[in-house]
Chains A and B, each alone.
Chain A
Amino acid sequence: MNIRMVREQTRRAFSIAKKDLRIYYYKPPVLISGILMPIFLCMAFLMGNKSVSLPFLIAGLLSMTLFFTATAISPVIFPWEGQTRTLERLISCPVAPESIIMGDMIASTIFGIAITLVALFIGHLIGVIVIHWILLICAIIIGSICFSAIGMLLSVPPTAVSQNIMLLSTLVKFPLIFVSGIFMPVEQMPGAGQVIAYLSPLTYFTDIARFSLTGTGYFPIYFDVWMLLLFTIILSVASIVLHKKTMPLRI
């Protein structure tokens, strides 16, 4: 594939993302649940643990918002499009499988970033001060790509029944929330929990968010950034490779 084709395929991936945003994301229930669910989780956590500081809480809110929104819709797009046979239309168009996958990831990334910025704005309104703005914005962008890739990976099994994928998604997402230092700092976790925390990209995003809001983190910040980038690359490549294998099985 030459550079001109890469450019054209990138444009087509953005067209697919625009379509996804219109069809799957710009829906009041999706937008509202994207904001409300993390807020309710944080409120529940706050009511159970009043000793926690506001910046600590908002850092956790940002992590959960980004994670939940970037993985909310992306796992079910492939099953839906397989069921309605619109996937067959996309495949018969001059669009590479990579562009279809990237398109879905771009939509999920944009949605994740937009809703997380709303959560950040809410935090700002209630008096939280961001110490490292640029770092936080970069981390939100990279984290959103990374979590979108997780969402895409969850949709790899070639089923047209979206409920199956939602169940799988819940089974993976909720445990990750609890082992990633959102509700309990990594340093306070038991030994096994700390080991698992290392394997979750959400841990590194949470640590960056906490560093950006409180000025302190568990890991060195460069380690957080590199680990988040590494996870993003590995998960994105894995998502593309695996979807290319299972895509024909959806037809």
Chain B
Amino acid sequence: MPDAISVINVTKRFGSLTAVNSISFSVKKGEIFGFLGPNGAGKTTTTRMLTGVLKPDFGDVQILGHSMVSAPLLAKQKFGVVPETSNAYPDLTAWQNLMFMGELYGLGSEHAKERTLYLLQIFDLYEHAQKKVQSFSKGMKQRLILAMALIHEPELIFLDEPTSGLDVSSARMILSMLREMNSRGVTIFLTTHNMDEANTLCHRVGIIRSGNLIAIDSPEKLKDTLDKIHQIEVSFNRDIPEEMLRNLPGITTFSRFGDKWKLSAQDKDLAIRSLVALSEHEGMSIISLNTLAPTLDDVFLRLTGGEK
């Protein structure tokens, strides 16, 4: 089974600036892939090369088996795009925008009408079908853009900051649509600054910095490889002296914060087992125990140089 996206040694230069430097990666079919990076890292340039808006100077992009360099029209037929900046036509109605997209993707008139009607209904825009887009709120525009990207039932969809600046209800609606689409096998390539979104939605994430892909893995594995020292927060049902924790296997350092102890451990598993054994041995019970794993934010900041 071919990958949904294969990026092969892709390079893009603007004058003397190398915006993207020979990056290679692939996105599997049915995957939600998050593409992260600070501003100016090459995210948008990469996404534009993947969607055929820019041509790479070197390398190739394969979309579901079609080369974006040698067969761009076949490749573009396979995906939908939700760009960062809303770009529906403000002087057309929602209905006209969707029908226009249907025509550009080669849908027959009746099929385009059916899809338009269906998408207007599921994105809660049916009541506004005949209104010009210039009167829409940001949330409505973003839902329309997503609907436009789905008009031809693509197998792959590119989204750039799909929930940026949206109200909670529109953001939730879009995220739930993405999950639902993915459960039906649609591959999703998501460019985002929202680490929570990437963490909860993506099967894998790639992080780009200065035009180079510096990490690619699942969010949990990336977090796991970031820091070998884990933080654990524990509280017992009674006060205990420091000495009890001093020689516990697996625990490196400890300090007290109110009624809790904050411990650091190289081996998280061994430290937790030691704490459980201690509480049993001393006849205590554990009231709370939290492992403070690094967040995807921490991973991102560490890898992109935002945190020294």
Interface residues of A, Cβ cutoff 8 Å to B:
5, 8-9, 11-12, 15-16, 18-19, 22-23, 84-86, 88-96, 248, 251
Residues on the B chain within 8 Å of A251, using CB: 48, 53-54
Residues on the A chain within 8 Å of B73, using CB: 5, 9, 94-96
Over the window 26-55 of chain B, the binary record of Cβ atoms lying under 8 Å from chain A Cβ atoms (1 yes, 0 no) is 000000000000000000000010011111
Given contacts A9-B73, A88-B48, 4 further A-B contacts (CB under 8 A): A89-B83, A90-B104, A91-B53, A92-B76
Residues on the B chain within 8 Å of A95, using CB: 73, 76, 104
B106 contacts the other chain (CB 8 A): yes
- List B246-282 residues whose CB lies under 8 Å from chain A: none
Q: Tell me if B106 and A12 are in contact (CB < 8 A).
A: yes
Nearest to B48 among chain A residues (CB) is: A251
Residues on the A chain within 8 Å of B101, using CB: 93
Nearest to B44 among chain A residues (CB) is: A251
- Minimal beta-carbon separation of B10 from chain A (angstroms): 15
Q: Tell me if B89 and A8 are in contact (CB < 8 A).
A: no
Nearest to A85 among chain B residues (CB) is: B87
Assembled-state Cα–Cα distance A93/B85 (Å): 16
Q: Tell me if A86 and B87 are in contact (CB < 8 A).
A: yes
Q: Point out which of A5, A9, A91, A251 has the most chain B C-beta atoms below 10 A from its C-beta.
A: A91
Assembled-state Cα–Cα distance A147/B89 (Å): 26
- Minimal beta-carbon separation of A107 from chain B (angstroms): 13
Assembled-state Cα–Cα distance A114/B103 (Å): 24
9 interchain pairs, CB-CB under 8 A: A15-B100, A15-B104, A22-B92, A86-B88, A89-B83, A89-B87, A94-B74, A94-B104, A251-B48
Q: Tell me if B55 and A248 are in contact (CB < 8 A).
A: yes
B156 contacts the other chain (CB 8 A): no
B24 contacts the other chain (CB 8 A): no
Residues on the A chain within 8 Å of B22, using CB: none
Over the window 164-193 of chain B, the binary record of Cβ atoms lying under 8 Å from chain A Cβ atoms (1 yes, 0 no) is 000000000000000000000000000000
Q: Tell me if B54 and A89 are in contact (CB < 8 A).
A: no
Assembled-state Cα–Cα distance A23/B103 (Å): 16
Determine which of A15, A16, A94, A248 lies in contact with B76 in the assembled complex, contact meaning CB atoms within 8 Å.
A94
Decide if the interface of chain B is mainly helix, strand, loop or mixed. loop
Residues on the A chain within 8 Å of B53, using CB: 88, 91-92, 248, 251
Residues on the B chain within 8 Å of A84, using CB: 87, 90
Q: Tell me if B76 and A93 are in contact (CB < 8 A).
A: yes
Given contacts A22-B92, A251-B48, A251-B54, contact A88 B87 (CB under 8 A): yes
Given contacts A91-B52, A92-B51, A248-B54, contact A23 B106 (CB under 8 A): no
B227 contacts the other chain (CB 8 A): no
Q: Point out which of A90, A91, A92 has the most chain B C-beta atoms below 10 A from its C-beta.
A: A92
Given contacts A23-B91, A248-B55, A251-B53, contact A12 B83 (CB under 8 A): no
Assembled-state Cα–Cα distance A91/B48 (Å): 10
Assembled-state Cα–Cα distance A86/B105 (Å): 16
Q: Tell me if B77 and A19 are in contact (CB < 8 A).
A: no
Residues on the B chain within 8 Å of A93, using CB: 76, 101, 104-105
Assembled-state Cα–Cα distance A21/B53 (Å): 25
B96 contacts the other chain (CB 8 A): yes
B81 contacts the other chain (CB 8 A): yes
- List B91-122 residues whose CB lies under 8 Å from chain A: 91-92, 96, 100-101, 103-106
Assembled-state Cα–Cα distance A80/B15 (Å): 26
Determine which of B74, B89, B105 lies in contact with A23 in the assembled complex, contact meaning CB atoms within 8 Å.
B89
Q: Tell me if A22 and B54 are in contact (CB < 8 A).
A: no
Residues on the A chain within 8 Å of B77, using CB: 94
- Minimal beta-carbon separation of A251 from chain B (angstroms): 6
Q: Tell me if B87 and A11 are in contact (CB < 8 A).
A: no
Assembled-state Cα–Cα distance A92/B83 (Å): 10
Residues on the B chain within 8 Å of A88, using CB: 48, 53, 83, 87
Q: Tell me if A22 and B52 are in contact (CB < 8 A).
A: no
Closest 8 CB pairs of A and B: A15-B103, A94-B76, A85-B87, A94-B77, A93-B104, A92-B51, A23-B91, A92-B81
- Minimal beta-carbon separation of A139 from chain B (angstroms): 31
Given contacts A92-B52, A94-B105, A251-B53, contact A19 B100 (CB under 8 A): yes
- Minimal beta-carbon separation of B5 from chain A (angstroms): 14
Assembled-state Cα–Cα distance A19/B99 (Å): 10
